[in-house]
């Protein structure tokens, strides 16, 4: 089986993430990782908190904490939330780790040795009010391209254009708000991307053929506009320091690497953290990243604003080292999840963030809704009405109600064991064929990372069971033919078991509860073949079973009113 390396965009350290961050990288990566593990592949799923850069320093300053302490606390907070969402990271690291520092500095030295880093004198914004040079993210102003009035000095988050601080209209300090800014000379390291433009383009031609349009078009746009040399150091107190053995003067000035230089390298750093965390297990981090081009398939998940850095700047960094680092094979990019068409906002108490979501409802409600409505090609909009409709129709009515009524009715009429009944007939044969076909649709969608199609196929699998029950009507059959009713219920129980297995990537908690309902659950079973799906004979006659608590409670109108009041609704 193929070895699969999976990374999701690193969540930034300054604050709890909203649902858009969850569906834009970490959750779909988890669904894919779970699916691949079920299919027997070796998977390494890596993520980490992104802890360097201006926002971390500003957030720590606002919290009144040293930045290292602030980041350590926030890492634990975020890790706890992701455990609550049942994200199955093999390792969730930190970009401030010694491993990331070591590998980042190593790559910088290699790039320098091969002529891809140059020290240049530059004119940089200095704030007399703050008594320091201002890194690009310490400067905010109006974007010259789209007019967004809170654009940062490195990138406009509204139109995603990459900027220099001097491009901004009416720039001001993000620390003091002062507009009294000067331009002074200082020195920084530049990554000579212009020297690698042809090489990066050739790499992209070879790699990006199967990528979704959203990812490939953004990468192509960057290349078509021309690759420019980019400063990769900043004047910050917190970050990976420039190594003194290579650049002693800059190290003495306290220069650190730009967060977008070291953050993607943290995928490698976190893999080394994973290996170092279990020395007795002889984990080989290099086998995933070094000389692994033909032995590992590497898939990245990210929102569209992260695509340029991962498809151009990070590959340029890897290629420029002239070392055999594993580069990405497939990039799955997502558009934005909005809140009633607008942005999530902590300050305006608009939208629901991941910690609050888990306080309201179990993780599976959110996991299923977000994947079923994933913004794969265009932006999608969260609304409480859409959320309630999805939960109530798909989870509560279609899946949860089937599980409850089948197990409750069988227990009431036939006791606590799976009933024998008659032999499968034409209806069961048709059902098996239908289930096998829908399972193939589900597998194809999952293999191609088409999440909405996968959710639709999963929903169709659940619906097929309901249609079978409605057609056979065991609550009527039992009046005249107990064996026929027993057969119908036994078939439906086998459907429940199948649903438990194949639904696990979407709703792992509920899948576990469904499997646990049957005493003879084969815990070694990871997937269902087409022939097994046709036969629907997973659970032997006489197997003891229990009826689990209600899997999914409906979202009521009273709930909706409370949610809109607490988190905001349509304006």
Residue 336's domain comprises 3-104+260-366
Work out the pLDDT band at 72, boundaries 50, 70, 90.
very high
Q: Are 511 and 38 in contact (CB under 8 A)?
A: no
Q: Tokens in use for 140?
A: 């905010």
Q: What is the number of domains present in the chain?
A: 3
Which CATH number belongs to the domain containing residue 47 in this structure? 3.40.50.620
CA-CA-CA-CA dihedral for 467, 471, 476, 478, to nearest 10: -90
Tell me, yes or no, whether 388 and 531 share the same domain.
yes
Q: Are 512 and 491 in contact (CB under 8 A)?
A: no
Tell me, yes or no, whether 126 and 15 share the same domain.
no
**132 DSSP β-pair partners:** 127
Query: CA–CA separation, 98 vs 300, rounded Å?
Result: 23
Tell me, yes or no, whether 159 and 70 share the same domain.
no
Q: Are 233 and 259 in contact (CB under 8 A)?
A: no
Which of 16, 113, 13, 2 minimizes the C-alpha distance to 58? 13
Whole-number Cα distances in Å, 127 to 45, 130, 169, 183: 42, 5, 16, 9
Quick check: helix, strand or coil at residue 300? strand
* 571 pLDDT above the threshold of 60: no
Q: Is 47 annotated among the ligand-binding residues?
A: no
Instruction: Assess if residue 271 is contained within a domain.
Output: yes
**47 DSSP β-pair partners:** 92
Q: What is the per-residue pLDDT across 422-481, written as a single tens digit (0 to 9) for each?
A: 899 999 999 999 999 999 999 999 999 999 999 999 999 999 999 999 999 999 999 999
Instruction: Assess if residue 376 is contained within a domain.
Output: no
Whole-number Cα distances in Å, 570 to 201, 203, 350: 44, 45, 10
Tell me, yes or no, whether 427 and 506 share the same domain.
yes
Instruction: Assess if residue 35 is contained within a domain.
Output: yes
Query: CA–CA separation, 153 vs 258, rounded Å?
Result: 13
Most confident of 112-116, 128-132, 205-209: 112-116
Tell me, yes or no, whether 131 and 184 share the same domain.
yes
Instruction: Assess if residue 567 is contained within a domain.
Output: no
Query: CA–CA separation, 368 vs 376, rounded Å?
Result: 15
* 347 pLDDT above the threshold of 60: no
DSSP letter for 94, please.
E
Q: Is 159 annotated among the ligand-binding residues?
A: yes
Tell me, yes or no, whether 488 and 391 share the same domain.
yes
Whole-number Cα distances in Å, 114 to 119, 257, 325, 347: 14, 18, 15, 47
Domain boundary among 256, 276, 304: 256
DSSP letter for 117, please.
E
pLDDT, residue 164, reads 83
Instruction: Assess if residue 550 is contained within a domain.
Output: no
Pairs from 346-352 (Cβ < 8 Å, separation ≥ 24): 346/15, 346/16, 348/568, 349/567, 349/568, 350/567, 350/568, 351/18, 351/19, 351/382, 351/567, 351/568, 352/18, 352/19, 352/382, 352/563, 352/567
pTM value is 0.93
Instruction: Assess if residue 551 is contained within a domain.
Output: no
Query: CA–CA separation, 239 vs 255, rounded Å?
Result: 9
Quick one: which H or E segment has residue 333?
strand 330-334
Q: Tokens in use for 347?
A: 């300050």
Q: Is 71 annotated among the ligand-binding residues?
A: no
CA-CA-CA-CA dihedral for 379, 45, 17, 210, to nearest 10: -20
Q: What is the per-residue pLDDT across 317-341, written as a single tens digit (0 to 9) for each?
A: 999 999 999 999 999 999 999 999 9
Percent of the chain at pLDDT exceeding 90: 84
pLDDT, residue 343, reads 84
Domain boundary among 519, 535, 551: 535
Work out the pLDDT band at 349, boundaries 50, 70, 90.
low
Pairs from 390-396 (Cβ < 8 Å, separation ≥ 24): 391/365, 391/552, 391/554, 391/555, 392/554, 392/555, 394/368, 394/459, 394/462, 395/364, 395/365, 395/368, 395/507, 395/551, 395/552, 396/551, 396/552, 396/553, 396/554
Quick one: which H or E segment has residue 476?
helix 474-480
CB atoms within 10 A of CB 274: 22
Q: Is 421 left (phi over 0), alpha (psi -120 to 50) or beta?
A: left
Tell me, yes or no, whether 246 and 287 share the same domain.
no
Tell me, yes or no, whether 212 and 319 share the same domain.
no
Q: Is 146 annotated among the ligand-binding residues?
A: yes
Work out the pLDDT band at 58, boundaries 50, 70, 90.
confident
Q: Tokens in use for 62?
A: 């606002």
DSSP letter for 554, please.
P
pLDDT, residue 569, reads 74
Which of 44, 488, 477 minimizes the C-alpha distance to 270? 44
* Torsional sign, CA 29, 32, 38, 40: negative
Tell me, yes or no, whether 119 and 239 share the same domain.
yes
Query: CA–CA separation, 49 vs 25, rounded Å?
Result: 13
Instruction: Report the chain's mean pLDDT, rounded to a whole number.
Output: 94
CB atoms within 10 A of CB 306: 24
Which CATH number belongs to the domain containing residue 210 in this structure? 2.170.220.10
Q: What is the per-residue pLDDT across 479-498, written as a single tens digit (0 to 9) for each?
A: 999 999 999 999 999 999 99
> What is the per-residue burial (b if ≥16 Cβ within 10 Å, else e) of 532-548?
bbbbbebbeeebebebb
Quick check: helix, strand or coil at residue 257? strand
Tokens 């005249």, located at residue = 480
Work out the pLDDT band at 137, boundaries 50, 70, 90.
confident
Instruction: Assess if residue 559 is contained within a domain.
Output: no
Q: Are 236 and 135 in contact (CB under 8 A)?
A: yes
> Pairing mode, if any, of strands 380-382 and 139-142?
unpaired
Query: CA–CA separation, 22 vs 462, rounded Å?
Result: 25
Tell me, yes or no, whether 431 and 530 share the same domain.
yes
Domain boundary among 256, 286, 320: 256
Sheet of 117-127, strands arranged across? 132-133, 117-127, 182-191, 230-231
Which CATH number belongs to the domain containing residue 391 in this structure? 1.10.730.10
Instruction: Assess if residue 377 is contained within a domain.
Output: no
- Give the rounded distance of the alpha carbon of 561 from its chain centre: 30
pLDDT, residue 154, reads 83
* 32 pLDDT above the threshold of 70: yes
Tell me, yes or no, whether 10 and 153 share the same domain.
no
Q: Tokens in use for 385?
A: 């009405």
Tell me, yes or no, whether 251 and 190 share the same domain.
yes
Most confident of 47-61, 178-192, 219-233, 464-478: 464-478
């Amino acid at each position: 089986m193929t070895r699969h390396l999976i990374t999701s965009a690193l969540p930034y350290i300054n604050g709890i993430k909203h649902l858009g961050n969850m569906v834009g990288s970490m959750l779909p990566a988890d669904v894919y990782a779970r699916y691949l593990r079920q299919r027997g592949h070796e998977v390494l799923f890596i993520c980490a908190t992104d802890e360097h850069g201006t926002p971390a320093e500003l957030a720590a300053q606002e919290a009144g904490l040293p930045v290292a302490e602030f980041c350590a606390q926030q890492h634990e907070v975020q890790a706890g939330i992701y455990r609550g969402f049942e994200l199955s990271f093999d390792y969730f690291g930190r970009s401030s780790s010694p491993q990331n520092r070591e590998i980042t500095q190593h790559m910088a030295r290699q790039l320098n040795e091969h002529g891809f880093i140059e020290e240049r004198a530059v004119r940089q914004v200095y704030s007399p009010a703050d008594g320091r040079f201002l890194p690009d993210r310490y400067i905010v102003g109006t974007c010259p391209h789209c007019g967004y009035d809170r654009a940062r000095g490195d990138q406009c988050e509204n139109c995603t254009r990459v900027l220099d601080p001097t491009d901004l209209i009416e720039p001001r300090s993000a620390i003091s708000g002062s507009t009294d800014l000067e331009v002074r000379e200082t020195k920084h390291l530049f990554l000579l991307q212009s020297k690698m433009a042809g090489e990066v383009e050739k790499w992209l031609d070879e790699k990006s053929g199967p990528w979704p349009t959203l990812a490939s078009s953004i990468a192509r746009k960057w290349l078509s506009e021309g690759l420019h040399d980019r400063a990769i150091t900043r004047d910050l107190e917190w970050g990976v320091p420039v190594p003194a053995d290579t650049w002693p003067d800059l190290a003495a000035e306290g220069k650190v690497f730009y967060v977008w230089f070291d953050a993607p390298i943290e995928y490698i750093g976190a893999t080394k953290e994973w290996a170092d965390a279990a020395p007795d297990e002889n984990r080989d981090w290099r086998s995933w990243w070094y000389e692994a081009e033909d032995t590992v398939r590497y898939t990245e998940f990210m929102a569209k604003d992260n695509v340029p850095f991962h498809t151009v700047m990070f590959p340029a960094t890897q290629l420029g080292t002239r070392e055999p680092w594993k580069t990405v094979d497939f990039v799955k990019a997502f558009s934005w999840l909005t809140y009633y068409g607008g942005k999530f906002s902590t300050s305006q108490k608009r939208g629901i963030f991941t910690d609050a979501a888990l306080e309201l409802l179990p993780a599976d409600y959110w996991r299923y809704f977000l994947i079923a409505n994933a913004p794969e090609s265009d932006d999608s909009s969260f609304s409480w009405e859409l959320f309630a409709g999805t939960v109530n129709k798909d989870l509560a009515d279609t899946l949860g109600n089937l599980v409850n009524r089948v197990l409750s009715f069988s227990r009431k009429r036939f006791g606590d064991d799976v009933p024998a009944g008659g032999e499968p007939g034409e209806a069961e044969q048709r059902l098996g064929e239908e289930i096998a076909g829908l399972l193939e649709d589900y597998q194809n969608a999952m293999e191609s990372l088409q999440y909405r199609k996968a959710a639709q196929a999963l929903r169709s699998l659940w619906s097929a069971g309901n249609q079978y029950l409605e057609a056979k009507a065991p609550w009527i059959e039992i009046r005249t033919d107990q064996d026929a009713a027993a057969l119908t219920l036994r078939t439906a129980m086998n459907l429940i078991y199948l649903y438990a297995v194949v639904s696990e990537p979407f709703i792992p908690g509920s899948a576990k509860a469904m499997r646990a309902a049957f005493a003879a659950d084969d815990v070694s079973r990871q997937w269902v073949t087409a022939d097994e799906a046709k036969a629907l004979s997973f659970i032997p006659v006489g197997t003891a079973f229990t009826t689990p608590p209600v899997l999914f409670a409906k979202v009521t109108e009273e709930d909706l009113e409370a949610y809109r009041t607490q988190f905001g609704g349509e304006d």
